[in-house]
Amino acid sequence: MSKQKTKFCCQECGYESPKWMGKCPGCQSWNTMVEEIETVVRTQGMNSSIARTKEKPTPIIHIESSPEPRVLTNNKELNRVLGGGIVPGSLILVGGDPGIGKSTLLLQTSFALTQAQQKVLYISGEESVKQTKLRADRLNASSSLLYVLCETNLELIEEAIQEINPDFLVIDSIQTVYHPAIASAPGTVGQVRECTGHFMRIAKGKGIATVLVGHVTKEGAIAGPRMLEHMVDCVLYFEGERHHSYRLLRAVKNRFGSTNEIGIFEMQEGGLVEVNNPSELFLSERPLGVAGSTVVASMEGTRPVLVEIQALVSTTNFPSPRRMATGIDHNRLSLIMAVLEKRMGLFLQNQDAYLNVAGGVKLDEPAVDLAVAISIASSFKDQPTRPYDVVFGEIGLTGEVRGVSRIDQRVKEAEKLGFRRVIMPEKSLKGWTHPPGMEIIGVNTVSEALQAALS
């Protein structure tokens, strides 16, 4: 026996309520509660509702471990972010702003897999087959192993999967797919959750690597319930600004690799092109001999990246000065300014401070602290730093400079781009040999770093 039950579900966080509310108690969003119809199945006994399985518990020492096979594409940046290639049977969720290039990336990846004799099925729920063909012609990504279908009905999509039996499946996008048995509109929480569950069973059961494209909210998070990110194996965010040609592919969850890697692409007329030397890209427009500009050697996963940090300190016209940071944590900026004022004697109480990481990169490692402090002091004193200096190091609350990891990779990247001097923690000088053409200055305190950088 079955009974229909009406409930109201938040389209942002998945919060359920028996009555409509203007404001969601879960995520505090307004006008996101949508009515949905739920079918409740009544069973005669407790045992009839339990899903039976033939598998029995096995001691973990008796389970054979083998490395996961991976399929490599000709895109090194994508392979890096995924942890070394695409794992068969994995479920990947890709999110990004509208028009950022998600469909272009996946269509190029699909074509690259066909070059490795992989059969690909591309399901488009937002574009017609002819529109997909036009994009493929522009990207020069046509192949006899690339199948395209414009469909949003889940049952018909499953029939196409049974007929073609692809090695790689793309769903663009998951918010357009609906299950006919669920009485709710496509894109609602119930539909997205149920359709994702179906694709997860297909991916694991048939060993098909599946990519789901997800819409994002105005805050930048993937639309739908948070459970969606827990169900998949890998969550990728495709980021970038419309006014810049480069794009960043970042992993926030990866069961088969690290989440610290980023892939950098440049959007050109013929599609996305991978950037082999991102440091040169980020420093291409750097002004020389300007106060407040410092180059930091940061690590993004296993890749060293040189990025410019710009600071602007000016006298405020308001009772409380402003602290604005783009690319690093705002609280970290306040902490570094407090250290400069307390330990270095810089009077910053009546100064507005604006900090920007050039290129739109987000830096979250503590090794950028010393570069931030030197940029703020340089702008405050109006003394430019040397144009061929690279700085990195962590700052403590007592004004000391703490050691960081992977020193040799940071210094080699700086040497490759023509920098001549490195200001770094003295505690990190042991255990490695610096290049002969580089001048290495080890510092123990922020005061020593400021004296070396601004002298």
For 182, 233, 437, the CA distances from 132, given in Å and listed in that order, are: 29, 27, 52
Q: Which of 259, 222, 245 is nearest to 80 (CA)?
A: 259
54: in domain: no
Residue 364 has pLDDT above 60, yes or no: yes
Average pLDDT over residues 70-87: 89
In a domain, 289, yes or no: yes
Which pLDDT value is given to residue 38?
66
CA pair distance 135, 270, nearest whole angstrom: 10
Give the mean model confidence (pLDDT) for residues 204-230. 81
Confidence (pLDDT) at 183: 77
Most confident of 46-50, 71-75, 447-451: 447-451
User: How confident is the model over 273-294, as a mean pLDDT?
Assistant: 87
Helix axis angle, 446-453 to 330-343, nearest 10°: 90
Residue-wise DSSP of 82-108? HTSSBPTT-EEEEEE-TTSSHHHHHHH
Q: Are residues 338 and 420 in the same domain?
A: yes
Asked if residue 260 and residue 186 are part of one domain, the reply reads yes
Q: Is there a single domain that holds both residue 349 and residue 437?
A: yes
CB 362 within 8 Å of CB 331: no
Question: Do 255 and 401 belong to one domain?
Answer: no
pLDDT tens digit sequence for 396-414: 999 999 999 989 999 999 9
pLDDT of 49 = 37
**Residue scoring higher pLDDT (46 or 338):** 338
Show which of 245, 275, 305 is a domain's final residue: 275
pLDDT band at 389 (very low <50, low <70, confident <90, very high): very high
The dihedrals phi and psi of 211, each to the nearest 5 degrees, come to -115, 125
pLDDT at 41 over 60: no
Provide mean pLDDT across the span 329-340.
94
Which CATH number belongs to the domain containing residue 352 in this structure? Answer: 3.30.230.10
Higher pLDDT, residue 5 or 297: 297
The residue count for the chain? 455
Q: Are 426 and 441 in contact (CB under 8 A)?
A: no
Distance CA 368, CA 13 (A): 34
C-alpha to C-alpha distance for 171 and 373, rounded to whole angstroms: 46
If you average pLDDT over residues 344-364, what whole number do you get?
90
pLDDT of 156 above 60: yes
Residues 95 and 23 in one domain: no
330 lies in the same domain as 360: yes
* Distance separating alpha carbons of residues 308 and 310, to the nearest angstrom: 6
Residue 47 banded pLDDT, cuts 50, 70, 90: very low
Known binding residues for ATP are: 96-103
Instruction: Let me know whether 267 and 291 are in one domain.
Output: no
pLDDT the model gives residue 399: 93
Query: Do 206 and 100 lie in a common domain?
Result: yes
Q: How confident is the model at residue 224 (pLDDT cuts 50, 70, 90)?
A: low
Residue 93 lies in a domain: yes
Mean pLDDT score, 191-218: 90
For residue 53, tell me if it sits in a domain: no
CATH number at residue 164: 3.40.50.300
Secondary structure element (H or E) that encloses residue 409, with its range: helix 407-416
Residue 255, in any domain of the structure = yes
**Cα separations in angstroms, 394 against 111, 296, 336, 366, 444:** 44, 12, 10, 5, 11
Residue 55 counted as domain residue: no
Q: Which residues are annotated as a binding site?
A: 96-103
Do 84 and 126 lie in one domain? The reply is yes
Looking at the fold, whether 267 and 409 belong to one and the same domain comes out as no
pLDDT of 414-438, one tens digit each? 998 989 999 999 999 888 888 888 8
Q: Among 246, 275, 304, give the residue marking a domain's end.
A: 275
- Residue 66 pLDDT > 90, yes or no? no
Tell whether 344 is covered by a domain.
Answer: yes
Q: Quote the tokens at residue 396.
A: 């403590």
My answer on whether 23 and 81 are in the same domain is no
pLDDT of residue 230: 86
Last residue in a domain, options 250, 275, 300 = 275
CA distance 201 to 168: 15
210, pLDDT greater than 90: yes
Q: In the 8-state DSSP scheme, what is residue 382?
A: T
For residue 4, is pLDDT > 70?
A: no
H or E element in which residue 235 lies: strand 234-240
Residue 218 pLDDT: 67
Burial of 341 (0-12, 13-18, 19+ CB in 10 A): middle
- Which segments of 120-196 are extended strands (E)? 120-124, 146-149, 168-172
| 3-state SS, residue 446 | helix
Per-residue pLDDT, 330: 92
Dihedral sign (CA 46, 51, 55, 58): negative
Q: pLDDT tens digit string along 103-121?
A: 999 999 999 999 989 999 9
Do 342 and 442 lie in one domain? The reply is yes
Query: For the whole model, what pTM was predicted?
Result: 0.76
Domain that holds residue 305: 281-453
Q: How far is CA 413 from CA 75, 299, 303, 422, 430, in A?
A: 22, 11, 9, 11, 19
Residue 73: what pLDDT? 87
How many domains does the chain contain in total? 3
Is 70 exceeded by the pLDDT of residue 151?
Answer: yes
- Mean per-residue pLDDT, 292-298: 94
The average confidence (pLDDT) of the chain is 87
From the CB of residue 271, how many other CB atoms can be counted at a distance below 10 Å?
A: 19
62, part of any domain:
no
Q: Is 257 exposed, middle or buried (0-12, 13-18, 19+ CB in 10 A)?
A: buried
CA distance 312 to 367: 20
